[in-house]
Amino acid sequence: MLESVIEALIKNKKGRLEEVVQAFNDGEFANSDTHKYLAEALVGSQYNELANYIEEVVIPKIGKPMLPYLCDTFTFADTYDNRRRLRLLRKLKYNDIEDLANRVLSQNLPSLQVEAVAILADTKTLDNEKKLIALSTDNNRLVRGAAYKGLAAIATPQALEALLSTYKGKLTRTNTQMLVEALSKVALPTYYLKFLEVLEQHFELLLAMDKSNESSVKAAYNLFEIELHILQHKDQKEVYDFLEKLLYNDEYHAIAEKYDTVPYHLMPTVVEILRSFSFNKRIAFYEKHLAVLPKTQWVRILATDYFYEAITIYSKEKLYDIFAPYFDLLSQNIIETFSGYQYNAGYYTPLKFEVKESFTDPRWATILLQFLQNSPKTEDYEFKALVVLDVLLPDSESLNQLILQLLPQASLNDTSWLYQLIMKRNIPQRFEIIYESLASMKQPSHYDYMNVMQAKTFWQCFPKEYALKFEKLYALKHVAYFKEISQLLN
């Protein structure tokens, strides 16, 4: 077994990753004879699955016994396998890691220097702070980006002043992205206002631009949308005030509508910012603004996030009161949530539902009925409203009629669970209705065959005389599951 594991580590052959995973699960890497080969197997690009698995799972589990082998295989060559080894030496707390980082920084090794910068940021000393500030102006963009992250991580006054000075300067799109990525990860409770002030200045400059210079306005708008991410984790009153200003500024929305590539404008960014804040404050922000903001397409993503948060804390009555006015925007989210629709990864797996009665106020019935009567019925989710209505209106004859009216319009994907709904509600002539529906179908695909035949107990409820009817239908249409249904009934 040990020879097979070592072979999987050193030979390029099919199925290596699977063998290594199995060996890890079996505890094979507790044997120190494998450690040398594990360190050598850290080769390949950042997309190499085997090397990534060894770095992220196997070696951290082994721990410090791997240190000698990582040191032996590490070289000052600017390759990704050496980046992996340097990261692991840091993670396993190698005693001389800072000296090793300084040696890397003294050479022209930009890829390795990215990891070395992160090592310097682990220890908040004046010397390391000076090095990180110097590296934040490095010619190599990867090194600069790593230095930004390092300065944000140590968050000393001098480090933050260096980042602020960079932010106030003239930045390229790439530099802005790297700076924002670094600053978006930290709260900066005593320093956030200075960055917010610059962001607000950039916002005012955007609004004041000559709108006839479209290329410049578009570039400034796109850069500003990147900058907004600086606000992540800055869970402070002034930040909420600024977000509020964005939501209600018509001039800004006019710019966004013209130059953004999606109809939601800045909303995905706002939602991402809000998700980094405390749950209670986020809910309070939504409660304050969603009631008064116009129910337009750009508000949809805010309302969607609010809805998924609200179902965890609100009563079904409150959910209805708040979100019924948003139904036109959120119909798919509301219907699929209330229906308990479960996505199945298997392509031939039938749909499953578990209606969430704890979410579903009876008043939704009127809205869902109107929706089904007026919707174009071009989307599968529209028919899932019937599952919710089945629970809300268990004895409704009008709902029975609506189900029968909609059955011919349903996709083949939906017919199998609509058949089950017809049976569950004991709709008169249900067996003949289902039979005629199947008989009228065009040539079904293999998916439809599996979707129908996985519910064998369903077909066994049919009267015996349908065995002959399905046999004749098979002879006419040559659809395999018609024959199988006939056999089930004999």
Structure tokens at 476: 């006419």
Query: Rounded to whole angstroms, what are the CA distances from 18 to 2, 174, 268, 397?
Result: 15, 38, 38, 56
Reference 52, options 29, 84, 28; nearest CA is 84
Reading the block at residue 74, the tokens are 């590490």
Nearest-5° angle of CA 154, CA 155, CA 157? 125
Tell me how far apart the alpha carbons of residues 31 and 378 are, in angstroms, rounded to a whole number.
Answer: 60
Work out the burial of residue 440: count CB atoms within 10 Å of its CB; fewer than 13 is exposed, 13-18 middle, 19 or more buried. exposed
End-to-end CA distance of the chain: 54
CB 13 within 8 A of CB 28: no
Q: Where does the pLDDT of residue 414 fall: very low under 50, low under 70, confident under 90, or very high at 90 and above?
A: confident
Least confident of 166-180, 313-327, 442-456: 442-456
Closest C-alpha among 404, 400, 426, 427 to residue 415: 404
- Give residue 346's pLDDT band: very low, low, confident or very high (50, 70, 90): very low
257 — pLDDT class (breaks 50, 70, 90):
confident
Angle in degrees, CA 405, 452, 411, rounded to 5? 40
The per-residue pLDDT for range 91-143, each reduced to its tens digit, is 999 999 999 999 999 999 999 999 999 999 999 999 999 999 999 999 999 99
Q: What is the mean pLDDT of residues 447-462?
A: 69
When pLDDT is averaged across residues 202-209 and rounded to a whole number, the result is: 96
CB 73 within 8 A of CB 40: yes
Is the pLDDT score of 323 beyond 70? yes
pLDDT for 443 equals 66
Evaluate whether 466 touches 439 at the Cβ level (below 8 Å).
no
Question: Residues with Cβ < 8 Å from 214, sequence gap 6 or more?
Answer: none
pLDDT greater than 80 at residue 411: no
pLDDT digits (tens, 9 = 90+) for 64-76: 999 999 999 999 9
Low-confidence winner among 5-19, 198-212, 262-276, 457-471 (lowest mean pLDDT): 262-276
User: Considering the chain, what is the average pLDDT of its residues?
Assistant: 89
Confidence of residue 456 (pLDDT cuts 50, 70, 90): confident
Look up tokens 């390759």; give the residue: 79
Residue 348 confidence (pLDDT): 38
- Tell me the pLDDT band of 352, cut-offs 50, 70 and 90: low
pLDDT of residue 344: 45
216-235 average pLDDT score: 94
Burial class (CB in 10 A: 0-12, 13-18, 19+), 385: buried
Asked whether the predicted pLDDT for residue 329 surpasses 50, the reply is yes
The pLDDT, as a whole number, for residue 265 is 60
Separation between Cα atoms, residue 53 and residue 59, nearest integer Å: 9
Domain boundaries, the chain: 1-95
Say what the pLDDT of residue 192 is.
95
State which of 263-277, 450-464, 470-484 shows the largest mean pLDDT.
470-484
- pLDDT tens for 13-41 read 888 999 999 999 999 999 999 999 999 99
Using CB atoms within 10 Å of the CB of residue 56, give its burial: 0 to 12 exposed, 13 to 18 middle, 19+ buried: middle
**Is pLDDT of 342 > 70?**
no
Residue with more model confidence, 139 or 376: 139
Lowest pLDDT segment from 24-33, 158-167, 384-393, 437-446: 437-446
Q: Residues for the chain: how many in total?
A: 490
Reply yes or no on whether the pLDDT at 181 is more than 70.
yes
Is the confidence at residue 264, as pLDDT, over 80? no
Q: Is 149 left (phi over 0), alpha (psi -120 to 50) or beta?
A: alpha
Is 294 or 17 the better-scoring residue by pLDDT?
A: 17
